[in-house]
Amino acid sequence: MSKLMKSLIGIIVLVAIVGWLAGIYNGMVKRQEQVDSQWAQVENVYQRRADLIPNLVATVKGYADFERQTLTDVIDARAKATSVNINPQNLDENSLQMFQEAQNQLTGALGRLMVVVERYPELKANQNFLELQSQLEGTENRIAVERNRFNDVARQYNTLIRTFPKNIFASLFGFERKPYFEADQEASKPPKVEF
């Protein structure tokens, strides 16, 4: 075999290896971008909920003027929930937990607000309130869907970067595991019913 032929085979092998490594790297980047994109969609639906709350509070305030503490709790929880911003590149267990805790506080405050609303039949019949309540319910459903989609793309990404030999390259290039949304600890407890 001539020296030229050996050089040509060596170049072909080198190009094939570089192509294979580039494919692995690009696949990881693609999956990471999917996680980042889905995180943005999760934030989008949470922002939609946050945007509905001032209108809901204003509507309730007109009927339930003396329920100030409940309204203040909702406003404060909304402020806290919207102040927790996470860069998807830095998404880790702690930052997701902080985000989730702030959102859970807002969910709890909204739940208490809806209990207060039950005391005001004229408010429950208000068309503006009913529309806002319907939009809020729809948004809660969207949140559940987008969180589920986020967990799915995070699982695909995590599986990709943890399988051999890709885990070696993921470690070399700094691809790190993404956390999952988990059910609220309180969700596993049965509701307390009192008559």
Query: What confidence tens digit (pLDDT) does each residue in 24-79 have?
Result: 999 999 999 999 999 999 999 999 999 999 988 888 887 766 577 888 899 999 99
pLDDT at res. 188: 45
For the segment 93-112, the average pLDDT, to the nearest whole number, is 92
For the segment 70-94, the average pLDDT, to the nearest whole number, is 89
pLDDT at res. 15: 95
pLDDT at res. 171: 94
pLDDT at res. 11: 94
- DSSP state string for 128-163: HHHHHHHHHHHHHHHHHHHHHHHHHHHHHHHHHHHS
Residue 165 DSSP code? T
For the segment 91-104, the average pLDDT, to the nearest whole number, is 92
The gap between the terminal CA atoms of the chain, to the nearest Å, is 92
- The token pair that represents 14 in the structure block: 């080198």
Residue 84 Ramachandran class (φ > 0 left, ψ -120 to 50 alpha, else beta)? beta
CATH topology classification for 34-174:
de novo design (two linked rop proteins) (1.20.1440)
- More reliable by pLDDT, 42 or 120: 42
The CA dihedral of 35, 41, 43, 47, to the nearest 10 degrees, is 180
Taking the domains of the chain in order of start, what are their residue ranges? 34-174
Which residue is listed with tokens 């702030």?
A: 102
Mean pLDDT for the chain?
88
Question: At how many degrees (to 10) do helices 3-63 and 166-173 cross?
Answer: 70
pLDDT at res. 190: 46
Percent of the chain predicted with pLDDT > 70: 92
pLDDT at res. 191: 44
153-187 tens-digit pLDDT: 999 999 999 999 999 999 999 999 999 998 765 54
pLDDT at res. 61: 81
- Whether the full predicted model's pTM is greater than 0.85, yes or no, is no
Residue 147 vs residues 2, 31, 46: alpha-carbon distances, Å: 60, 17, 10
